[in-house]
């Protein structure tokens, strides 16, 4: 890697030209595509004489300015840019260029997923389609004509509204016009022989919108949940944010080969099929929830992302943090507030906290990047959403709505910055957010030391912020954030509930009028994305009595973590934890929530609290606690299983889903016993149940307890679902996550399976990606796990750099590993970085880890 050049936020310059409108014509053929690009351009900065357009590996055929064919002395074509010398102040350009979508395995720009032509242009894919000012602050009106073979590609889709279509004999053409100016990253095109389902939505102001979801022929019946979710999202955005849809048509297309989850192109969303297709037989409850949330997320982007977009890519969290917050609230409103909040926090801690503690830590608004593709991170998205949530908490529901109204009114149709967003938030609400801005510019997870004192009826809470240094070792400042707390008396009555505004490095808060020292319930609802450090708290009491769903869960988690850590030090299981856990088993109420309460902390959670990480020790201690609980509460767990197990029922309502959640939790805990009885239950569940959720849990339990049964059931599963790639992802994941001996050998062998295809990101993620997160085998003391994943990174980097750099993430905990693992990791990291022609994506991640 020679030209690993960083791009800096401080170097931002406004564009010197604007593109008034652009007319694109795509002629699609089997070996190549011809792109004709006509742009009307205006000089904004009159001092500039030359126009530099972004382009990547393009074959230029013709080049015209104002109807004059240009001689090659008037322009310079380089690998990454096309420069036109001495341009007038107003002019039109016509470019004809040739591209090869069929050979595009990077899945950026225009490419083929199976037999479907599709695009992915965020952040910088458009420049590999045609020369353009490929930056989000250049917004233009697009008209797109697609011409293709009528039989092979009967469906031709573009952004905006459909204008006209022509029959050209063997071929046909369709023209789309998008009246809303947009940046090139929101451009999309689809051509294929697709099935579809249609519906309609009438907006609050009475406009009729045609809704279509396209998929591979034969999958139409699996699109209904996505359609339902889309309509729910449209209604929610009208009610909660006063935002209506703004075109005559809303199209969604599901494709199999897609690097990300989905893309919000104006009026033409393109989705990874995993987030569209579902039916009871092939999708799990988690898949159904995932579809609802991603469909909503992309829809919400129409206002937070498309109509108001980012000035530059350093502002990515402006659209992503806000839109993730919006989709989280949507899911919470439609399902369970408590469960949604806990799931969101779990995901934040598993991915973002790990990132924040690693050499790739960065602020939600980074200051520089080598490859922008590497910044579609948990930090920008999920921590970004937490930052918006804190603003929401500081303002309160009513002022927050007033502030978002002002944001939409002021910046509609513009490309703006996070500063503009904060301006709207504070000017509409009157809340001073200047101290809050640090959340955008600092990295690392803040810790909050909590000290309690009780004297003469006065309870004093002293909070001290411990702010981590930057990756480069620079000191950072204390944050301003809302901290929801309650003080509970001995009957668990909330005597005080308050949202403290924490802003100093250390400060004390006093509460009077107590006879006994109250119990502190802190960071309720996880009101700030921080780590609480407490010498002591009455976790058993909070587990039993706290009325805040999040803190109750948190107390159970921390108490379990402390219990496991004590086991690691050679102690026996704390009987007080066991007793409190038994209390949770008896709880009434929402069963999905109860299933979360009963979950033991993940290996990743335990790992994050260690230095010199040794996974063997963590697994052993966690296993010991699981066995202890399963043994102690065998009867109760079996009773929970039996009461809630309904093998013959599908049911996608909240009750049916929550019954499956709790009984599968009980089964998983019981599986630590590895007794004949439990194995038989799992086997029966696999054979009798009609839902994918039940089958996958049963398979997972069998895989990790009984190799013989596992083989038979896995073979059965394979033969039933081998034609459904989405289901096969589950099959690969179960095997790649297995704790059994020989997992690496099996993963290696599965690469030759007829269903596996290294060019399909979902399959790579479910086999190689899941293995790289299988701590037991990836970090095996013989070093084979590291070697295998390093080999794959080097290989996949040549096919799809974005996929490869995603896999590099598995090495992020390098610095925190024990010496033996660390030295083995170093060998592989050095091998990757010295690879000839390594992509800048992988180079950026590996070089940061090694620094």
Asked if residues 596 and 602 have their Cβ atoms less than 8 Å apart, the reply is no
CB of 620 to Zn ion, least distance (A): 40
Secondary-structure percent of the chain, ordered helix, strand, coil, rounded to 5:
45, 25, 30
CB of 789 to Zn ion, least distance (A): 28
CB of 118 to Zn ion, least distance (A): 18
- How far apart CA 302 and CA 241 sit, in angstroms, is 12
| Structure tokens that stand for 792 in this block | 């794959």
Q: Cβ closer to Zn ion: 325 or 559?
A: 325
Largest separation between any pair of C-alpha atoms in the chain: 92
44 CB-near residues (< 8 Å, 6+ apart):
14, 15, 16, 17, 18
- How far apart CA 597 and CA 553 sit, in angstroms, is 5
Asked if residues 205 and 267 have their Cβ atoms less than 8 Å apart, the reply is no
CB of 591 to Zn ion, least distance (A): 31
Q: Cβ closer to Zn ion: 264 or 700?
A: 264
Asked if residues 431 and 410 have their Cβ atoms less than 8 Å apart, the reply is no
Q: Cβ closer to Zn ion: 269 or 335?
A: 269
Q: Cβ closer to Zn ion: 254 or 520?
A: 254
Q: Cβ closer to Zn ion: 273 or 733?
A: 273
Give the dihedral sign, CA 538/540/544/548: positive
Q: Cβ closer to Zn ion: 302 or 605?
A: 302
Give the dihedral sign, CA 308/313/315/320: positive
Q: Cβ closer to Zn ion: 323 or 839?
A: 323
- How far apart CA 464 and CA 450 sit, in angstroms, is 7
Q: Cβ closer to Zn ion: 309 or 608?
A: 309
Q: How many residues does the chain have?
A: 851
CB of 298 to Zn ion, least distance (A): 7
Q: Half-sphere exposure (CA, 13 Å, Cβ side) for 444?
A: 20
Which residues in 737-796 contact Zn ion (CB under 5 A)? none
Q: Tell how strand 309-310 and strand 415-416 pair up.
A: parallel
| Structure tokens that stand for 348 in this block | 């934040």
Which residues in 387-406 contact Zn ion (CB under 5 A)? none
Q: Cβ closer to Zn ion: 37 or 323?
A: 323
Q: Cβ closer to Zn ion: 285 or 320?
A: 320
Per-residue binder mask for Zn ion (CB under 5 A), 222-261, x = binder:
----------------------------------------
Q: Cβ closer to Zn ion: 323 or 371?
A: 323
Per-residue binder mask for Zn ion (CB under 5 A), 292-321, x = binder:
----------------------------x-
DSSP 814: G
Active site residues: 298
CB of 18 to Zn ion, least distance (A): 26
CB of 301 to Zn ion, least distance (A): 6
Radius of gyration of the chain (CA): 28
Q: Cβ closer to Zn ion: 323 or 442?
A: 323
The H-or-E segment that residue 138 falls in is none
CB of 303 to Zn ion, least distance (A): 12
What's the distance, Cα to Cα, between the start and end of the chain in Å?
Answer: 16
CB of 310 to Zn ion, least distance (A): 11
| Structure tokens that stand for 28 in this block | 């699609």
Burial 271-284 (b: 16+ CB within 10 A, else e): bbbbbbbbbbebbb
CB of 737 to Zn ion, least distance (A): 27
| Structure tokens that stand for 675 in this block | 């007794």
Asked if residues 461 and 520 have their Cβ atoms less than 8 Å apart, the reply is yes
Q: Where are the beta strands (DSSP E) in 32-169?
A: 33-43, 51-54, 59-65, 68-69, 75-77, 81-84, 90-99, 109-113, 116-120, 140-149, 155-158, 161-168
CB of 28 to Zn ion, least distance (A): 28
CB of 319 to Zn ion, least distance (A): 7
Give the dihedral sign, CA 567/571/575/576: negative
Per-residue CA distances from 181 to 177, 185, 311, 529 (Å): 11, 12, 14, 36
Please work out the total of residues on this chain that contact Zn ion, with binding judged by CB under 5 A.
2
Q: Cβ closer to Zn ion: 320 or 356?
A: 320
Point out which residues pair with 110 in neighbouring strands: 119
Q: Looking up tokens 């948990």, which residue turns up?
A: 378
Binding segment for Zn ion (CB under 5 A), chosen from 322-330, 337-345, 423-431, 832-840, is 322-330
DSSP 132: B
CB of 264 to Zn ion, least distance (A): 6
Point out which residues pair with 522 in neighbouring strands: 485
- How far apart CA 424 and CA 405 sit, in angstroms, is 9
Per-residue CA distances from 454 to 450, 451, 512, 520 (Å): 14, 10, 10, 12
The H-or-E segment that residue 484 falls in is strand 481-488
240 CB-near residues (< 8 Å, 6+ apart):
329, 330, 333, 401
Asked if residues 521 and 548 have their Cβ atoms less than 8 Å apart, the reply is yes
Per-residue CA distances from 597 to 121, 554, 556, 601, 703 (Å): 41, 9, 7, 10, 25
In a 3-state reduction of DSSP, which class is residue 529? coil
Asked if residues 635 and 582 have their Cβ atoms less than 8 Å apart, the reply is no
For Zn ion, the binding residues (CB under 5 A) are 320, 323
């Amino acid at each position: 890697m020679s030209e690993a050049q960083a791009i800096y936020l401080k170097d931002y310059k406004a564009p010197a030209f604007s593109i008034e409108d652009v007319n694109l014509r795509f002629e699609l053929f089997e070996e190549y595509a011809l792109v004709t690009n006509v742009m009307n351009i205006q000089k904004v900065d009159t001092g500039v004489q030359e126009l530099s357009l972004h382009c990547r590996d393009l074959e230029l055929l013709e080049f015209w300015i104002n109807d004059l064919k240009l001689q090659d002395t008037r322009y310079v074509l380089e690998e990454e840019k096309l420069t036109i010398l001495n341009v007038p102040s107003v002019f039109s350009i016509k470019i004809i260029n040739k591209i090869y979508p069929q050979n595009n395995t990077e899945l950026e720009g225009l490419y083929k997923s199976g037999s479907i032509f599709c695009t992915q242009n965020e952040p910088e894919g458009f420049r590999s389609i045609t020369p353009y000012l490929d930056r989000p602050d250049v917004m233009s009106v697009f008209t797109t004509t697609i011409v293709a073979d009528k039989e092979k590609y009967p469906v031709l889709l573009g952004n905006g509204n459909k204008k006209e279509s022509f029959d050209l004999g063997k071929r046909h053409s369709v023209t789309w016009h998008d009246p809303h100016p947009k940046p090139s990253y929101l451009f999309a095109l689809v051509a294929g022989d697709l099935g579809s389902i249609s519906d309609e939505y009438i907006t609050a102001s009475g406009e009729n919108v045609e809704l279509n979801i396209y998929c591979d022929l034969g999958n139409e019946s699996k699109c209904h949940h996505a359609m339902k979710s889309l309509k729910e999202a449209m209604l929610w955005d009208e009610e909660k944010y006063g935002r209506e849809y703004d075109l005559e048509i809303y199209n969604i297309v599901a494709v199999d080969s897609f690097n990300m989850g989905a893309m919000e192109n104006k009026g033409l969303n393109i989705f990874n099929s995993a987030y569209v297709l579902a039916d009871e037989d092939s999708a799990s409850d988690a898949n159904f929830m995932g579809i609802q949330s991603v469909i909503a997320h992309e829809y919400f982007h129409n206002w937070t992302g498309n109509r108001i977009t980012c000035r530059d890519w350093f502002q990515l969290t402006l659209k992503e943090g806000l839109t993730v917050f919006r989709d989280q609230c949507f899911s919470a409103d439609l399902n369970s507030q408590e469960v949604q909040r806990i799931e969101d926090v779990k995901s934040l801690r598993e991915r973002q906290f790990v990132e924040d503690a690693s050499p790739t830590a960065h602020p939600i608004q980074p200051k520089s990047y080598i490859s922008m593709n590497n910044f579609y991170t948990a930090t920008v998205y999920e921590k970004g959403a937490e930052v918006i949530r804190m603003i929401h908490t500081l303002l309160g529901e009513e002022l927050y709505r007033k502030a978002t109204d002002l944001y939409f009114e002021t910046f509609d149709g513009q490309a703006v910055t996070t500063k503009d967003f904060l301006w709207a938030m504070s000017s509409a609400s009157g809340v001073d957010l200047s101290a809050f801005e640090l959340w955008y510019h600092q990295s690392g997870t803040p810790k909050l030391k909590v000290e309690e004192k009780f004297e003469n009826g006065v309870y004093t809470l002293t909070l001290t912020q411990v702010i981590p240094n930057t990756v480069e070792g620079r000191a950072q400042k204390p944050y301003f954030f809302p901290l929801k707390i309650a003080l509970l008396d001995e009957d668990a009555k909330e005597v005080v509930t308050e949202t403290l505004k924490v802003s100093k490095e250390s400060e004390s808060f006093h509460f009077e009028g107590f006879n006994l020292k109250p119990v502190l319930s802190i960071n309720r609802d996880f009101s700030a994305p921080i780590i609480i450090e407490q010498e002591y708290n009455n976790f058993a009491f909070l587990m039993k009595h706290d009325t805040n769903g999040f803190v109750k869960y948190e107390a159970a988690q921390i108490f379990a973590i402390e219990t496991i850590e004590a086991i690691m030090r050679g102690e026996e299981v704390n009987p007080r934890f066991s007793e409190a856990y038994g209390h949770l088993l008896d709880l009434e109420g929402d069963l999905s929530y109860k299933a979360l309460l009963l979950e033991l902390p993940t290996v990743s959670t335990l790992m994050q609290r260690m230095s010199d990480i040794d996974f063997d020790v963590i697994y052993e201690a966690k296993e010991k606690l699981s066995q202890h609980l399963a043994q102690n509460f065998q009867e109760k767990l079996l009773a929970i299983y039996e009461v809630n197990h309904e093998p013959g029922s599908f049911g996608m309502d909240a009750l049916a889903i929550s019954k499956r959640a709790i009984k599968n939790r009980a089964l998983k805990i019981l599986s630590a016993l590895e007794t004949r009885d439990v194995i038989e239950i799992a086997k029966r569940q696999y054979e009798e149940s009609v839902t994918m959720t039940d089958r996958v849990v049963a398979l997972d339990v069998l895989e990790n307890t009984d190799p013989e049964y596992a083989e038979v059931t896995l073979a059965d599963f394979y033969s039933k679902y081998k034609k459904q790639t989405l289901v096969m992802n589950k099959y690969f994941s179960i095997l790649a996550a297995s704790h059994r001996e020989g997992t690496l050998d099996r993963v290696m062998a599965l690469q030759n399976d007829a269903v596996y295809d290294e060019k399909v990101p979902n399959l790579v993620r479910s086999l190689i990606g899941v293995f790289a997160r299988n701590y037991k085998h990836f970090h095996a003391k013989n070093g084979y796990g590291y070697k295998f994943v390093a080999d794959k990174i080097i290989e996949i980097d040549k096919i799809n750099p974005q996929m490869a750099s995603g896999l590099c993430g598995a090495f992020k905990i390098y610095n925190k590993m024990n010496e033996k693992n660390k030295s083995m990791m170093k060998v592989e990291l050095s091998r990757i970085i010295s690879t000839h022609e390594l992509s800048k994506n992988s180079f950026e991640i590996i070089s940061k880890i090694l620094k």
